[in-house]
């Protein structure tokens, strides 16, 4: 009876863990979407690796969402085949999650160069860009309270016919024409470059991706351990109900 009691406990623990996985899968999808939005709403990055980690996280979240439901059914019905398949699929997901964490860490290390190149390209093409392109950079500078790549002088010779002019979005108080000849005026223009602000924001979001992937991988390892214990009990023919 002692063994039966332990197997019954394992069964409900596995069911509980799968419910947690189900919630984690939903959370991963939400987190992945938020990070993906942050990557593309703050700066135009022409680098495929920039989107890899959050996209993988979204895919993994959807898969975990359904696998967790599958695991709950297997635990509740005490199906050896379902629990075994659940363990195998969970192991594959763990490998993918670790890969996503590594990809996020590698991208985080390259972030300075990618952000600098992306912003510099935007500043250079601003004057000849489309209205939508200009709006994207203007919104970036207004929302993050920054100007240029490293500072406001990055706009020198790249904007307007008046010397030392910057886009109005660089102004502390944005009004029409406020950036005309105001590049060196710290009372009117944000002097902080967008590179530092954007890099800090993206590193924070990517770190959340890494932490989420590793935490979920750890929880899933515990789930596999419980699944293996339940499989052993089912195979041995113990009554767990």
The three-state secondary structure class of 189 is strand
Distance CA(123)–CA(140), nearest Å, equals 12
For 174-215, list the strands marked E by DSSP.
none
Report the distance separating Cα 132 and Cα 143, nearest Å: 16
Q: How far apart are CA 60 and CA 172, in angstroms?
A: 42
- The model scores a pTM over 0.75: no
Residue 183, SS3?
coil
- Residue-wise pLDDT for 137-156, tens only, equals 888 889 889 998 888 888 98
In the prediction, which pLDDT does 52 show?
A: 58
Instruction: Please list the alpha-helical segments (H only) found in 126-189.
Output: 131-144
Residue ranges of the chain with per-residue pLDDT less than 50: 1-3, 43-44, 46-49, 238-241
Each residue's pLDDT tens digit, 202-235: 777 777 777 777 777 777 787 788 778 777 777 7
Pinpoint the alpha helices (H) of 78-193. Answer: 80-125, 131-144
Answer positive or negative: Cα dihedral of 105, 133, 129, 170. Answer: negative
140, 150 in Cβ contact below 8 A? no
Cα–Cα distance, 86 to 235 (Å, whole number): 16
Q: pLDDT by residue (tens digit) across 33-44?
A: 776 666 555 544
Distance CA 233, CA 136 (A): 59
């Amino acid at each position: 009876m002692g063994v039966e009691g332990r197997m019954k406990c394992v069964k409900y623990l596995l069911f509980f863990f799968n419910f947690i996985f189900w919630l984690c899968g939903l959370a991963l999808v939400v987190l992945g979407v938020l990070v993906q939005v942050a990557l593309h709403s703050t700066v135009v990055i022409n680098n495929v690796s920039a989107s890899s980690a959050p996209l993988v996280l979204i895919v993994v979240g959807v898969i975990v969402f359904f696998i967790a439901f599958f695991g709950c059914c297997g635990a509740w019905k005490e199906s050896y085949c379902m629990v075994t398949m659940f363990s195998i699929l969970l192991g594959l997901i763990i490998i993918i999650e670790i890969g996503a964490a590594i990809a996020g860490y590698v991208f985080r290390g390259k972030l300075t160069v990618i952000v600098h190149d992306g912003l510099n390209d935007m500043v250079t093409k601003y004057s000849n860009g489309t209205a939508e392109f200009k709006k994207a950079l203007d919104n970036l500078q207004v929302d993050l309270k920054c100007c240029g790549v490293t500072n406001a002088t990055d706009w020198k010779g790249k904007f307007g016919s008046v010397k030392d002019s910057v886009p109005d979005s660089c102004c502390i108080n944005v009004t029409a024409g406020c950036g005309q000849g105001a590049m060196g005026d710290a009372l009117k223009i944000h002097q902080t470059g967008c590179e530092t602000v954007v890099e800090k924001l993206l590193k924070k979001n990517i770190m959340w991706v890494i932490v989420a992937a590793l935490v979920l991988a750890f929880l899933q390892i515990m789930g596999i351990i419980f699944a293996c214990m339940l499989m052993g009990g089912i195979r041995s023919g113990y009554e767990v109900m």
